[in-house]
Amino acid sequence: MHNKLYIQSYCRITNNQLWLNGKLIFEVEQNSNLKDFLKSIYKDQKMRYPKFFKMDNLSKLSIIAAELILSEKDLNTYDHNIALIFSNNASSLDTDRKHQETIDDPDHYYPSPAVFVYTLPNIGIGEISIKYKLKSENGFFIFDDFNAKFHHNYEQFLIKSNKSKAVLAGWINVDGEEADAFVYLVSENGQIEHTQQNLIKLYKE
């Protein structure tokens, strides 16, 4: 059984800023809307994933965070056995509202399949799994706030019980024009010990 696990890398996306491992690597004007902000990150990071432009904002945020952390990793090291454990407090409410608007409009009533498909918060997890060919456990949980205790315990269990070789996890929340993401990779290697205290500290940075 492994003694300690570590946060190998982490990213923070909020307030129109993108931070990677504690360093600010991209930002836009504060008056930019969320859709344009996410599109700007996509272009700045030279991402290549055409499906990105069809996604809702929650899935876009999820893919961007995963790309920042996983794109430079050799996933064969983990046999693509990386679990995905995300949480937020708004579920897919942002897209649910758009879906409801199509239902409420009596003159143009027609629920859009392109919108409806994103009315579950774990769709972003599915997009990450497809893009990176991940084959492990995954889950999306709803809490009032980032629950460091839950994340720590679950992530420790997944790796120490040999269910996963690593865990990509964190908080992915979108509500209107507000985006808040804190995503990190937990494994046997790294500089920051995987503790509740460190998770809280990094989230609040």
CATH number at residue 175: 3.40.47.10
Total domains present in the chain: 1
85 token code pair: 């454990």
pLDDT in tens, 27-81: 998 778 989 999 999 999 999 988 899 888 899 999 999 999 998 888 888 988 9
State mean pLDDT over 123-143.
88
Any domain includes 114: yes
Confidence band for 13, pLDDT divided at 50, 70 and 90: very high
Which span out of 10-19, 70-79, 122-131 was modeled with the highest average pLDDT?
10-19
Residue 1 inside a domain? The answer is no
Q: Count CB neighbours of 104 within 10 A.
A: 9
Q: Residue 60 is part of which domain span?
A: 6-204
* CA distances (Å), origin 108, targets 46, 102, 170: 37, 7, 38
The pTM assigned to this predicted structure is 0.86
